[in-house]
Amino acid sequence: MAIVRWSDPFREFSQLQDRINRVFSDAYGRSDEGLMTSGAWVPPVDIYQNGDHEVVLKAELPDMQREDIEITVDNGTLTIKGEKKLSSEVKEEQFHRIERRYGTFSRSFSLPQTLDAGRVSADYRDGVLTVKLPMREEAKPRQIKIDVAA
C-alpha cells in the first residue's frame, strides 16, 4: 500500500475559492482590477397578488429620483426603465471601492389578460417602486347563488 501525503486542506479551500471567484467575476463582469466597474444591473422585484383585486409589483430602486424612472404598459407588457446615477458629489479619484451598480436598466413583464392596463398606478417611496395592476371587473371571482329545488 502506498502512503499518500495529505496537503494543507485550508490552502486547497483557498485555491478553490479563488477559482470560484474568478468564474463569477467573468460571468458577471465584476473585477477588482479597476475601481470604476460598469455593467448592466437588474433591480430585484417581488410580484404578488393582493387578494382578488390586484397584482402588485415592488422593485428596489435605491438612490434614484422619480424623474429617472419610466413605466410603460404596451400590448400586454409592463416595462420599467431607468438610470441609477453615480453621485456627482464625490469625485472618481476619491473612491476607495465601488460595489454598488450604476447605469441604465430595463425590466419587462408579460401581463395576463385579466388585468386592466388602463388603471395601472405607481408609487415611489423610500427607494421602493410599487406598481399596482388592478384586475378587470369581469375577471374578479364572483359568488353564484344556488337555488334549492323543492
pLDDT of residue 73: 92
Residue 104, Cα to own-chain centre: how many angstroms? 13
% of residues, the chain, pLDDT over 90:
35
pLDDT of residue 40: 66
**Contacting residues for 18 by C-beta, under 8 A, at least 6 apart:** none
What is the C-alpha to C-alpha distance for residues 13 and 10, in angstroms, rounded to an integer? 5
Return the amino acid letter for 143.
Q
pLDDT of residue 37: 47
What is the C-alpha to C-alpha distance for residues 63 and 86, in angstroms, rounded to an integer? 9
% of residues, the chain, pLDDT over 70:
78
Residue 37: Cβ within 10 Å count: 16
- Ordered by start, the domain boundaries in the chain are 40-139
Q: In what order do the strands lie in the sheet with 77-84?
A: 69-74, 77-84, 103-110
Residue 148 DSSP label: P
Task: Inform me whether the pLDDT recorded for 67 exceeds 80.
Answer: yes
Top CATH class of 40-139 equals: mainly beta
Return the amino acid letter for 23.
V
Mean pLDDT of 64-77: 92
Answer yes or no: pTM beyond 0.85.
no
Mean pLDDT of 93-97: 82
Task: Inform me whether the pLDDT recorded for 130 exceeds 90.
Answer: yes
pLDDT of residue 32: 46
What is the C-alpha to C-alpha distance for residues 24 and 20, in angstroms, rounded to an integer? 6
11-15, 112-116, 136-140: which has the highest mean pLDDT? 112-116
Q: Which residues pair with 46 in a beta bridge?
A: 58
